[in-house]
Amino acid sequence: MGEIERRLAERELVLPAVFAAPPGMRMTFDRVRIDGTVAYVSGHGPMDGSRPLMVGKVGDPLAGDWLSQEAGYEAARLTALSVLASLKHELGELDRVTGWLRLLGFVNVAPGFTATPPVINGFSDLILELWGDRGRHARSAIGVAELPYGIPVEVEAVVRVDGR
Amino acid sequence: MGEIERRLAERELVLPAVFAAPPGMRMTFDRVRIDGTVAYVSGHGPMDGSRPLMVGKVGDPLAGDWLSQEAGYEAARLTALSVLASLKHELGELDRVTGWLRLLGFVNVAPGFTATPPVINGFSDLILELWGDRGRHARSAIGVAELPYGIPVEVEAVVRVDGR
Amino acid sequence: MGEIERRLAERELVLPAVFAAPPGMRMTFDRVRIDGTVAYVSGHGPMDGSRPLMVGKVGDPLAGDWLSQEAGYEAARLTALSVLASLKHELGELDRVTGWLRLLGFVNVAPGFTATPPVINGFSDLILELWGDRGRHARSAIGVAELPYGIPVEVEAVVRVDGR
């Protein structure tokens, strides 16, 4: 077992099934596209295979039927686990990810919800916990109108991988 | 004639005029920025020169004055043709694109429209038809509030080009 | 003093304090992530340290309490200055940025505001003024539902830096 997977196990974190298109949708893109020692990771959400683990917009739960900021944070953490499942599937082991470069995070926002960085922190925190300094990355966190299947968070990434 | 252009001709697909800013707008960016063997392609829409071929938001046509998902798919396919026109203009011939790496697709959504991946499939499908396995790419498909000039779809790309 | 900073001084432009998270928010990402000779710049807004210099959505001021397109342009120019502050902080001097590759610009739009490219021109124009041809870049300009802290503009960038 590699170092990253040991750290996942220490935290009792289990990777979900690899992201797949929901029934009736064709998946015309690759989860991960490797180009030399750079891997481009497609936008992922809090999915277990083709099943969304959370749906809904993030906002003030007192003002409407919205997910709280804390639930959004959890969605972003689950999104990171889905990305790790795709990277493990593609690379064989997660230790082959030698550095994180860039995240682009989208939050499915209710009107007026602007605390998008604390939501995407759920993704960044897990990466930093697992990779330490090699997990440090540039990032944007944007509030958007709609996300696929109604998921609350979507994140894409660029990472460096060993050239094996 | 190169291989990719032969495939376009077989499909009776004609590239539009190269994307340009509409009258009264200054274009302060490059359609394609080449850096070594990587080309960064600016966000394109379904344009013929400076003329949008489609405008409007994608949603349920029964619920409002929206474009259907199928019309959105067609807009994404037209967007791919506009990107190809820019790449041909910049590179001389499309065979110089040796691999597709990453797409970021934005759909101009009506409220509640979440089927953004099937819309952006209109772009991905054409790339895969033309480039085969070398067209495989990572991708995100996001629903946004507004797009330039009211176009229904915008896609940016990162591709690998030969170093000529 | 380097060439770029000489040009800033000629224009009487002063860089703001380096972007930081507002009180109560944790910053879990790096402003700039350098990977070899490429630097990934996180999404920035018109910030002076942790203080937003402008907030609000861009739209028609006659139709609501919105910022005008011209105010949006100014916000994008201030955003560029915040990015330059981060790059100077990270690199020591701005002359080490040898080329601009790609910008992704988000505008916090009021309903119906589609003139996002002229807004993001405020960023692109300053880069081209300062770097000349080496400032030329690919770009997208998207209208989004919400941005962090209510800022009107956010831009992320990929630039080339010398390998020092």
- Is A138 touching C (CB cutoff 8 A)? yes
User: Rounded CA gap, A152 and A76, in Å?
Assistant: 8
Q: Which chains touch C (3 or more CB pairs under 8 A)?
A: A, B
Can you give the pLDDT at residue A91? Answer: 97
Q: Inspect the interface and report whether the beta carbons of B99 and A29 lie closer than 8 Å.
A: no
Closest Cβ–Cβ partner in A21, A43, A146 for B114: A146
Question: Predicted confidence band at A36 (pLDDT cuts at 50, 70, 90)?
Answer: very high
- Looking at residues C95-113, what average pLDDT do you find? 98
Task: Please give the structure tokens belonging to residue B29.
Answer: 């960016």
Can you give the pLDDT at residue C111? Answer: 95
Question: Predicted confidence band at A24 (pLDDT cuts at 50, 70, 90)?
Answer: confident
Q: Give B-chain residues touching A86 at CB under 8 angstroms.
A: none
Look at residues B128, C145, C59 and name the one whose alpha carbon lies nearest to residue A107: C145
Domains of chain B: residue spans and CATH: 3-18+31-161 (3.30.1330.40)
DSSP structure string for chain B: --HHHHHHHHTT----PPP-PPTT----S-SEEEETTEEEEEEE-SEETTEES--S-BS-TTTSS-B-HHHHHHHHHHHHHHHHHHHHHHHSSGGGEEEEEEEEEEEEBPTT---HHHHHHHHHHHHHHHHGGGG--EEEEEEESB-GGG-SEEEEEEEEE---
Q: Give B-chain residues touching A145 at CB under 8 angstroms.
A: 109, 111, 143-145
User: Rounded CA gap, B59 and B51, in Å?
Assistant: 23
**Distance (Å) of CA A141 to CA A78, A146, B68, C10, C107:** 16, 14, 29, 34, 13
Q: Computed from CA positions of residues B116, B119, B125, B130, in that sequence, does the dihedral angle turn out positive or negative?
A: negative
CA distance, residue C10 to nearest chain A CA (Å): 31
Look at residues C107, C141, C77, C154 and name the one whose alpha carbon lies nearest to residue A120: C154
Q: Which chains touch A (3 or more CB pairs under 8 A)?
A: B, C
pLDDT tens digits along B24-55: 889 999 999 999 999 999 999 999 999 999 99
pTM: 0.98
Can you give the pLDDT at residue C117? Answer: 98
